[in-house]
């Protein structure tokens, strides 16, 4: 076989040599050396050291040895050769850009998005359950509120209109406020009874014990009746008749009625 693969003994380049030639020549470093040696290095590159010495320039007229650079995929041997060639030349690559550097801006963007999303979720995560919980408690109290009106013998319209009852309203951060409209005149005793019933319903819903301060504290009941407005605010010990505030019917109604009649009168006059 004439053509064989070899490796330059000086620079480690892959060569194709003719085994019939006594000498071969490396196209890369101009090294001229025995073909047999190139073939031998190719076949057994382990431990071979490549001196990489400058080779004497030769007259271009001199016939050159046939040598063809090889680009075959002989990875394993090429790696061995490369190691042998570069074993003392571990040059630090000062300006190499690592993949991490390239990804950094995208990473920053992604982190900003993640942090923003997390913040929104955190806020929603706190506020949504709170409002849902409050709403659930509120509707549960609402379901039992009729007991409150029965016990106090108050005439309150409990009919629902689009999910909202017309005769009363429960609100407040802990569903601690109740306002209701009575179609009949009201006495303070009734207000106290309604207040106590509301505290009981609410306490049951929230799991508050009677001896707990929050069972009564902060609970406010307002009753609007034809004979006036009644307000009762619970302290930690509850509230009695003495705590019922009474406001006589506000003159605003008669004023507006008067205003209406005036307007009517004016329009009639015209």
Give the residues lining the site for Zn ion (CB under 5 A).
Answer: 8, 10-11, 13, 26, 28-29, 31
Residues 6 or more apart in contact with residue 158 via CB below 8 angstroms: 145, 146, 149, 165, 167, 168
Give 13 or 190: the residue with its C-beta nearer to Zn ion. Answer: 13
Distance of alpha carbon 41 from alpha carbon 50, whole angstroms: 10
Residues 6 or more apart in contact with residue 48 via CB below 8 angstroms: 7, 9, 12, 41, 84
CA angle 24, 28, 30 (to 5 degrees): 50
Give 28 or 206: the residue with its C-beta nearer to Zn ion. Answer: 28
Could you give the angle at which helices 99-152 and 188-206 cross, rounded to 10 degrees? 140
Give 19 or 155: the residue with its C-beta nearer to Zn ion. Answer: 19
In the complex, minimum distance from the CB of residue 31 to Zn ion, in angstroms, rounded to a whole number: 4
In the complex, minimum distance from the CB of residue 63 to Zn ion, in angstroms, rounded to a whole number: 18
Under DSSP, is residue 138 helix (H, G, I), strand (E, B) or coil? helix
Residues 6 or more apart in contact with residue 30 via CB below 8 angstroms: 55, 56, 57, 58
Under DSSP, is residue 86 helix (H, G, I), strand (E, B) or coil? helix
In the complex, minimum distance from the CB of residue 50 to Zn ion, in angstroms, rounded to a whole number: 8
In the complex, minimum distance from the CB of residue 49 to Zn ion, in angstroms, rounded to a whole number: 14
Give 10 or 35: the residue with its C-beta nearer to Zn ion. Answer: 10
In the complex, minimum distance from the CB of residue 93 to Zn ion, in angstroms, rounded to a whole number: 24
Give 8 or 239: the residue with its C-beta nearer to Zn ion. Answer: 8
């Amino acid at each position: 076989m004439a053509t064989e693969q070899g490796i330059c003994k000086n620079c480690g380049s892959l060569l194709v040599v003719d085994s019939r030639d006594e000498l071969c020549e490396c196209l890369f470093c101009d090294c001229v050396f025995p073909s047999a040696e190139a073939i031998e290095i190719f076949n057994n590159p382990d431990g071979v050291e490549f001196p990489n010495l400058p080779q004497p320039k030769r007259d271009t007229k001199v016939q050159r040895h046939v040598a063809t650079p090889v680009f075959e995929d002989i990875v394993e041997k090429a790696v061995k050769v490369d190691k042998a060639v570069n074993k003392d030349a571990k040059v630090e690559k000062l300006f190499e850009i690592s993949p991490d550097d390239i990804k950094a801006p995208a990473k920053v963007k992604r982190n900003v998005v993640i942090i923003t999303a997390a913040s929104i979720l955190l806020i929603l995560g706190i506020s949504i359950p709170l409002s849902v919980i409050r709403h659930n408690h509120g509707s549960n109290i609402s379901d039992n509120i009729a007991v409150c009106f029965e016990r106090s013998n108050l005439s309150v319209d409990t009919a629902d209109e689009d999910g909202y009852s017309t005769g009363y309203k429960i609100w407040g951060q802990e569903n601690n406020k109740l306002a209701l409209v009575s179609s009949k005149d009201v006495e303070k005793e009734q207000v106290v009874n309604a207040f106590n019933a509301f505290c009981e319903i609410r306490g049951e819903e929230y799991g508050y014990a009677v001896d707990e301060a929050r069972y009564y504290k902060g609970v406010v009941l307002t009753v609007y009746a034809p004979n006036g407005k009644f307000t009762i605010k619970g302290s930690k010990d509850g509230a009695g008749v003495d705590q019922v505030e009474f406001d006589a019917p506000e003159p605003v109604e008669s004023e507006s009625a008067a205003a209406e009649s005036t307007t009517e009168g004016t329009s009639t006059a015209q």
